[in-house]
Structure 1
Amino acid sequence: MHDRKALWVVRELGLPTIVTTCTSCRSTHHHPTGKFRVNASGKLLDVWLLIGCDRCGRTSKIPLHERVHVQSLNHERLLRYEHNDPTLVRDLTMDTALAGRTGYRLDWTGTWALDTDLPFHDLDDPTSLQVYVRFELPAPIRLGKLLTAGFGLSRSAASHLVTTNRLHLPTTLDTRVREDLTFLVTP
């Protein structure tokens, strides 16, 4: 008998909520407006990602570059800022390092769904099952949560598979993963 393989995809449903306090209404939920603001003062540039409050609509700025020389920015990147490149907006909205540097956090609730290419596999099948998990977005998801969603197991059942060496994981069940990974289920 041949080993079985499955592909699970963490599919993007939307961008994470930017959690920071609005100066107008004190709400904490913001979304990207899809725009950048580039401000030139002589040979110095400021670049901000613009975000909007979900409650009152007030626009706020997340600093990307402050008082940098025009020549220090890659020309292509500067053009992407000036043209509100949607891919760059998406990438910067999901940038956890930027969030940490500028003092906000990201709420990934409702941003992903797990698609599997299988009806639930019988875990008692006598052949091994290798599962490839591919991330469309870097949402930090507890590995245990992926397993419960993908196999329809309870958390305790997933834990039991690990302790009985039937489930071979690259990390612990409590680890938050955000990049592609592979794991194995053995008979």
Structure 2
Amino acid sequence: MSELRNTRVPAADGAPEVDRKALWVVRELGLPAIVKSCVACRSARHHPTGKVRVNASGKLLDVWMLISCELCDRTSKITVHERVHVRTLDHERLVMFENNDPAVVRQLVMDTALAGRTGYRLDWTGTWELETDLPFHELDEPVSLEVVVRFELPAPVRVEKLLTAGFGLSRPAVRGMVESGRIRLPVAVDAKVRGDFGFFVVTSSSS
């Protein structure tokens, strides 16, 4: 949901003054698929079962996230912790593991460090949508705009894709505005972002 203000906002840290501010939100539609080869069939896509398994051997613990093959439903394990001493784990987090807490399952599924460490990748297709009620025609008005983009999930999204979706413009139009200085970005237009950031739309390249 966008939040627009018609009052002029003072500039900070060298940023241009803006007439309005808008909020765009990358809304979560679902969790990413886990891409790893299934040992039982030809599929390479898995989804979390919502369960975490904790196995104790004396004071040593193994913790696994359980995932299910999209094609054959075979359950596999992703190693979260291996042979760690019980005292090295935060007690509250251990209880969340033991109770299959949805929040900790969600965190594990979207953990890119865990994916890299255990040799699989995440497919973020269909996991997000951009929510903004900013009218497209307002870009033609002689006012400047600051847009804050918030992420509900760490999906890697190309900046160009956000701009085309948010403003309802073509890729060439967006690139033209970036090249002319009308859109001022903190990163390259073809970069991928996965966390909150902001950018400016100014009245001209000399603003």
Which bin holds the TM-score, normalised by the shorter protein?
over 0.9
Q: Map 1:153-164 onto structure 2 (within 5 A).
A: 153-164=169-180
| Alignment correspondent of 1:181 | 197
Write 1 or 2 for the structure with the bigger share of strand. Answer: 1
Query: Identity rate of aligned residues, in percent?
Result: 68
- Counterpart AA for 2:98: E
1:58 aligns with 2:58: no
Q: Map 1:4-19 onto structure 2 (within 5 A).
A: 4-19=20-35
| Alignment correspondent of 1:69 | 85
Q: How many residues align?
A: 187
| Alignment correspondent of 2:37 | 21
Greater shift in the superposed pair: 87-96 or 68-77: 68-77
| Alignment correspondent of 1:115 | 131
Distance 1:50 1:121 in 2: 48
TM-score by length of 2: 0.88
Question: Which runs of 5 or more structure 1 residues have no equivalent in the other structure?
Answer: none
User: Offset at 1:157?
Assistant: 0.8
Spell out, residue by residue over 1:86-127, the C-alpha distance to the aligned partner (whole angstroms, 9 max, x if none). Answer: 001001100111100000000000000000032224222111
Q: Give the RMSD, CA atoms, in angstroms.
A: 1.0
Distance 1:118 1:156 in 2: 20
Indicate the SS of the match to 1:123: helix
- For residue 152 of structure 1, the aligned residue among 146, 168, 178 is 168
TM-score by length of 1: 0.97
Q: Map 1:88-167 onto structure 2 (within 5 A).
A: 88-167=104-183
Question: Which runs of 5 or more structure 2 residues have no equivalent in the other structure?
Answer: 1-6, 9-18
Distance 2:125 2:91 in 1: 35
> Higher relative contact order at CA 8 Å, sep ≥6: structure 1 or structure 2?
1
Indicate the SS of the match to 2:139: coil
Greater shift in the superposed pair: 70-79 or 12-21: 70-79
